[in-house]
Every structure is written in C-alpha cells, then in structure tokens.
Amino acid sequence: MALARLQMVQQQLKRRDVENPAVLEVMGRVPRHLFVPVRFQGDAYDDTPLPIGHGQTISQPYIVASMTEKLLPSKDKHILEIGTGSGYQTAVLAELFGRIDTVEIVPELFVSARSILSELGYTNINFHNGDGLKIPVEPKEFDGIIVTAAPERFPESLPARLAVGGRLIIPVGYSHQNLMLVVKESQDKITRRDLYPVRFVTLQTRD
Ligand code: SAH
C-alpha cells in the first residue's frame, strides 16, 4: 500500500500541478485505503473517486490534494469542512492545519468517519452531524472553508463565515460544475475565481 501511495503522489499529483511539499508529504502518508469499503481497498490509490455508501463518494486523490493546497496550509489556521464523507480529506486537513471542524449530514458517515479518525489518533478535529450550511459551529469565522459537495448556486451566506484573509474552496453547479476559490480580501471585498471543471455529489439541504 505504501508503494502504491508514493506512486499516486508521483503520477497523479506531481505530474499535474500540486506543488506544496507539505501537501505532497501528507498525501504520501495518510492511509487512504482505510477510508474506503473493504472491497475497494485494492483501488484506493487509483486516480478516481470511489463509492463510500449512501450514494456518496470519496473524492479523487488529486482533488483532495489540490483543494487542500488552495487553502494555503498552516498550523495556525482553523478550517471548516462541509461534507466529512469518508473522513479522508479531514485527515489530510488535520495533518496540515491547526484545528478542523467538520460537518456531515448523513448520520452513518458522521459516525464512521469519527471512529476511524479517532482510531488513527487525531485530536484536533471537532465532528458535527447536520447541514453544514445551517448548523451553528464555533468560531463564527474560520481561516478557511472547504465544501466537498456541490450546491447548484454559490451559497451567499458562506463568506460571512470567513475571517479577513480567509479562503473558501467550493464546487458550484448542477450539470456542469466548476471549482471556485473565494478570497475574503477585506471585510467588504470578496474575490471569486473559477479554477477548473469538477464532478462532485450534490450538496443536500435540511431544515
Ligand atoms: N471529502 C469527502 C467527500 C465526501 S462526498 C471524502 O473524500 O470522503 C460529500 C459529502 O458531503 C457526503 O458525505 C455528503 O453526505 C455530505 N454532504 C452533502 N450535503 C451536506 C451538507 N449540507 N452538510 C454536510 N454534509 C453534506
């Protein structure tokens, strides 16, 4: 598995555009195979998303690395993740940032991600079960927000949850999605940039 993981870093990440050495090191270390169903463990380091049950998927390794890199990793940052899913992206974030709050809407995925991440020894993650756009999570403002399911339209409520200088990475769209990077330049200036086309599961809403 360790060899397959290093090949993944070489062939899928470095050959594309992932450059941050800390991100590459962590991607070469976090055991992705422990986050996928047993029958897919042999495919865990392939260049593809995989099913994790409940109609959801674990993101392709490149997407996990690329989204993480766009948040500019630093141990003094506190990150909000919406869409815990398997917990793999959460593990990568927890290695590179100081603290993570992660929200998952499907109760079974919330439970399984929390248990694997605790088993692996992570102590800087707070887990929440609910709709990430709606449930109150402290602090009110984060240094970075990552959304791993796609809303049809950009959620205008999210930039308010970013600290000044904070970055938000989110897939947006329905039949055609783009990965969008949002930077909160100042209290009243936000810039948005489309990065590249992606294919994510749909962000669900709950009242
Ligand atoms: N990063 C995860 C991606 C999982 S897919 C991984 O690599 O495993 C996206 C996840 O977002 C799914 O688990 C889905 O249930 C969850 N989700 C969808 N809408 C949500 C919402 N409004 N709030 C929180 N989680 C949500």
pLDDT attached to residue 62: 98
**59 given a catalytic annotation:** yes
Distance (angstroms) between ligand 1 centre and the Cα of 181 equals: 18
Burial (Cβ within 10 Å: 0-12, 13-18, ≥19) of residue 56: buried
pLDDT attached to residue 98: 98
Q: Which residues of the chain have pLDDT under 70?
A: 207
pLDDT attached to residue 1: 87
Question: What digits encode the pLDDT tens for the residues 43-102?
Answer: 999 999 999 999 999 999 999 999 999 999 999 999 999 999 999 999 999 999 999 999
Secondary element (H or E) of residue 111: helix 107-119
In this structure, the residue with its CA closest to atom 13 of ligand 1 is: 85
58 lines ligand 1 (CB under 6 A): yes
Q: What global pTM score does this model have?
A: 0.97
To test ligand 1's pocket by mutation, which of 45, 66, 104, 137 has the most ligand atoms within 8 angstroms of CB?
104
Measured distance CA(88)–CA(64) in Å, rounded:
9
Measured distance CA(107)–CA(80) in Å, rounded:
18
Distance (angstroms) between ligand 1 centre and the Cα of 150 equals: 9
